[in-house]
Amino acid sequence: MKVVYHPRYLEVYASDPAAAPGRIESILIEVSPYFELVTPEPASIEDIKLTHTDWHISDVREMRHTYEVALLAAGGAIKAAELAVSGEPAFGLIRPPGHHASPNSCWGFCFFNNMAISVEKLRVKGKIKKAVILDFDLHFGDGTDNIFSGVADVVYHHPEDRERQGFVDGIARFLEKQKADIIAVSAGFDRGVEDWGGLLTTEDYQTIGKMVKGFSEKVCQGRRYGVLEGGYNHDVLGRNAKAFLDGMT
């Protein structure tokens, strides 16, 4: 398991909770002693155009600082996807997050859809045909859903349940029915019991990571990766992300 990370993800490029100081640091402190860090390149404009319109790209470009870090975040997701497809599980410790970025608009602290860009790049290069995207963030990834609506080869799934056991069991039931060449996880930790959603424990994140690993080994030659989406309580974010990575490893 490798962790894709760039020092520029530490920069406070905006005033939203995803860009808050200390957020990336809280995960970095927990995971860097255990996982090798890999440095990504920024995504190219051609990469961003895989899922976004010229109009949207120029809109984001006007926020110069945000634009630069957002290109690096998309590049980080691409790096994680490329590692995964070559047989090395990976996690993109990236920001800004991406799952609320649609082809022509964005909201919710997102600018470019890191996950969708990374999956689409693997597809256009012919490295995969079918992908499953599991998004366990508290919030529905409307951007990812919009980008892949009508694309039969990419399944986007956002589990919902009021009970934590039901939530975890629901993921297992979903995965049992899937066939894919890769599994990609939009890993948002804002459903944590001490975060906004107040549901999942640290142990649950490890369990979900194990299920992703199990699925990938059974169905898609171990190809699996995740990218960071939400998660806002810095006191527990690192611990929960580490638990998920431990499960995925």
Q: Which residues bind Zn ion (CB under 5 A)?
A: 137-139, 188, 190, 230
Instruction: Give the up-direction half-sphere exposure of residue 160: CA atoms within 13 A in the CB hemisphere.
Output: 4
Closest approach, Cβ 82 to Zn ion, in A, equals 25
Amino acid at 230: G
Catalytic residue among 6, 56, 99, 100: 100
Closest approach, Cβ 141 to Zn ion, in A, equals 9
- 177 burial type by CB count under 10 A (0-12 exposed, 13-18 middle, 19+ buried): exposed
Q: Could you tell me where the DSSP H helices lie in 86-163? A: 114-124, 142-148
157 catalytic? Reply is no
Closest approach, Cβ 24 to Zn ion, in A, equals 16
Closest approach, Cβ 88 to Zn ion, in A, equals 27
Q: Is the Cβ–Cβ distance between 181 and 131 less than 8 Å?
A: yes
Start-to-end Cα distance in the chain: 6
Closer to Zn ion by CB, 89 or 192: give it. 192
Which among 190, 206, 188 is positioned nearest to 198, based on CA atoms?
190
Closest approach, Cβ 23 to Zn ion, in A, equals 13
| SS3 state of residue 242 | helix
Closer to Zn ion by CB, 30 or 137: give it. 137
| SS3 state of residue 192 | strand
Residue 167: both structure tokens together: 């939530």
Closer to Zn ion by CB, 35 or 136: give it. 136
Closer to Zn ion by CB, 89 or 143: give it. 143
Closer to Zn ion by CB, 89 or 188: give it. 188
- Say how many C-beta atoms besides its own lie within 10 A of residue 34's C-beta: 12
Q: Is the Cβ–Cβ distance between 100 and 106 less than 8 Å?
A: yes
Residue showing the smallest CB distance to Zn ion in the complex: 230
How far apart are alpha carbons 17 and 109 in whole angstroms?
8
Active-site amino acid positions:
100
